[in-house]
Chain A
């Protein structure tokens, strides 16, 4: 088996005295897409924030492409080729759409993603390129957030609930763009509340519960009952999240 592109090693995370992650071990191979699922507060965002360097980790806790990135700062990790599409989009309000994209390329990593290819992926953004980014609709803002992450030509991209608060039709169009992104050989970690959506775009999944991995497996063969148990910590008949499995 080849060396994984990303490996976490007994990863822990804290907010002050509150521990949010309890020794996570996770692996991702080159070009793979995995899903992270779990109830509210399970630690999904914290996991992505730790990988991206926004939450402090220790050395030896996160390895990327054979390098120990555990103790690096967020900007150094970005330079290494990890991009985060943060929960709630978090665009720069005083930058236009185009400026938000341009600043995404700040790390200067070469590759196929540049303004023209992002505009090709999301044509509506080109029409609105000079508008302040936060004046766009939610769906368009999400496109900017994804485009901004792509502009750094990452090798690993982390998506945190990209469908949050969007209308189903918008979610559909954003997910339709996903294959065009990961086909480029980019690896991805997708955090999503909608479990069936998460499983349908990933090859494997990890289900988190209170900061620990409660279940992991192949997305294709995932058992609804197992997930339900891992999700809530108990077996519940129809309790599986929104009944979507």
Chain B
């Protein structure tokens, strides 16, 4: 029973990791930008949720109506103002600039909120659980997982069934020719980053109600996101969800064997997948 419980908890945890990964995957897919600051942006969203909750006195999960638009706006401005200037044939400038951004965000959060761990309180949701066939499933992890499925499904639908998604795919295929279609790639990139940070906002809020956070934890979230993307296969959104689940299950099973092995088991599984299937479990199929 313990093992099945670990498995179920792992799957649910995977939803959170998939949310970490989705924004990363989107940006990489559309503009080949590896956003080193992604983890810190997740933490930033958690702090924005905290401040919104305190200032407006609303439930942390309701804070999304403020944090999601703010993060999206920040993403658009960040992309148009800074990141677009770093994109080109050389892959180094965007890496350096987003690394710098990561340091800036961490320091700004440290300055504003100190290094003390914080947490958002969601009241009874915190401990509420469903008991299914002898298993006790936390409502909050379950909610996180359901949100992840809807977010990934929504992104997938947007990508393959809307004009914006078509623009994203066209720019991803061939930036130059996409411009001939009247698409301003700087604007399209701005929209992609806005969408990415909107997803990041959701991820940050769910992280912040689930565990303690402080300004230094962004790096590890970035790694989890990366690992989920790579395990699932680059450029495949549903694959990213599977990648998150594989990572989550590996971690909880590892922890079940020995509490100290949680992270190690996740990293080892990642390396194993990389060794056996370098392009991930579900690489994007192109013609």
Chain A residues near B (Cβ < 8 Å):
52-54, 73-76, 78-79, 83-84, 86, 90, 92-95, 99, 102-104, 106-108, 132-135, 148, 152
Contacts and interface: CB of A to CB of B under 8 A. Distances in A.
Given A75-B181, A92-B174, A103-B166, 18 more contacts: A53-B179, A74-B180, A75-B180, A75-B185, A78-B179, A78-B181, A79-B182, A83-B180, A92-B178, A93-B287, A103-B170, A103-B181, A103-B183, A104-B181, A106-B163, A106-B181, A107-B181, A107-B182
Nearest to B168: A94
Contacts of B287: 93-94, 132-135
B177 interface: yes
A115 to B, nearest CB: 14
B181 A94 contact: no
Task: Name, among B172, B173, B174, B184, the residue most crowded by chain A CB atoms within 10 Å (CB to CB).
Answer: B173
A94 B166 CA distance: 9
B2 interface: no
Nearest to B172: A94
Nearest to A109: B182
Contacts of A93: 173, 286-287
Contacts of A74: 176, 179-180
A78 B180 contact: yes
Contacts of B172: 94
Contacts of A53: 179
B179 A94 contact: no
B279 interface: no
A164 B179 CA distance: 23
Contacts of A73: 179, 184
B182 A102 contact: no
B275 to A, nearest CB: 28
B12 interface: no
A102 B161 CA distance: 12
Contacts of A54: 176, 179-180
